[in-house]
């Protein structure tokens, strides 16, 4: 009691600085969400934004680990644990980089497709009826590997062997010239990659 009174009298109250800090946990959650959001944007934004995000993510993780070590040295255990969340989740993301990258890209691109689906359907309604299954491609961009959405009414793009009529129909597109691989999106739409 005397000690508390002396501290109050001298204006130096003891403040407990060992508390849970929220920002490392918030950023550990937000960085992957931002990565997905970047992939929902046009390719140029993702191409520029993803490296910036990775740089900020890495710097934040390094700052958090420095603060975690500093907190552990001063025996502020709650703060040390809270600061460790971001570096540990970053380490897990790095260890699973291929999976994280693929999931973020595919999730973002699926969201991008859903946002633009109505405009694709409008474009399809304007295509002339030639008696053959319709085929259309919307290029999203890419660097080395192009990203695109394809509408293939025959669904032959998903087959291991396509008919000669299909090959003729797509011959003047990236799909015909370079080949394509990807995943179905339903209703004859496909999210594809082309390598030229």
What confidence category does residue 2 fall into, taking pLDDT thresholds of 50, 70 and 90?
Answer: very low
For residues 132 and 66, membership in a common domain is answered with no
Tens of pLDDT, residues 71-102: 999 999 999 999 999 999 999 999 999 999 99
Give pLDDT, residue 12: 54
Higher pLDDT among residues 46 and 143, named by residue: 46
What confidence category does residue 48 fall into, taking pLDDT thresholds of 50, 70 and 90?
Answer: very high
Residue 6 belongs to some domain of the structure: no
Tens of pLDDT, residues 100-141: 999 999 999 999 999 999 999 999 999 888 888 999 999 998
For residues 86 and 148, membership in a common domain is answered with no
Q: Of 147, 140, 157, which Cα lies nearest the Cα of 196?
A: 147
Give pLDDT, residue 18: 64
Structure tokens, 104: 């973020």
Residue 132 belongs to some domain of the structure: yes
Residue 4 belongs to some domain of the structure: no
Which are the contacts of 20, defined by CB distance < 8 A and separation ≥ 6?
Answer: 78, 79, 81, 82
What confidence category does residue 180 fall into, taking pLDDT thresholds of 50, 70 and 90?
Answer: confident
Q: pTM value? A: 0.78
Query: Range of 171's domain?
Result: 127-194
């Amino acid at each position: 009691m005397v000690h508390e009174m002396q501290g109050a009298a001298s204006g130096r109250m003891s403040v407990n600085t060992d508390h849970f800090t929220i920002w490392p946990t918030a950023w550990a959650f937000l960085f992957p969400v931002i990565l997905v959001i970047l992939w929902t944007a046009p390719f140029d934004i993702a191409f520029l934004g993803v490296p910036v995000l990775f740089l900020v993510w890495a710097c934040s993780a390094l700052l958090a680990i420095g603060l975690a070590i500093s907190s552990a040295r001063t025996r502020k255990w709650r703060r040390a644990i809270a600061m460790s969340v971001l570096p540990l989740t970053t380490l897990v993301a790095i260890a699973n980089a291929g999976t994280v990258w693929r999931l973020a890209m595919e999730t973002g691109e699926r969201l991008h497709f859903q946002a633009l689906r109505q405009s694709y359907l409008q474009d399809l309604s304007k295509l002339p009826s030639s008696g053959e299954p319709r085929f259309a491609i919307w290029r999203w961009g890419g660097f080395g590997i192009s990203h695109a959405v394809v509408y293939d009414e025959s669904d032959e793009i998903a087959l291991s062997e396509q008919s000669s009529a299909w090959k003729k129909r797509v011959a003047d597109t990236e799909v015909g010239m370079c080949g394509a691989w990807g995943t179905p999106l339903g209703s004859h739409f496909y999210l594809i990659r082309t390598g030229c």
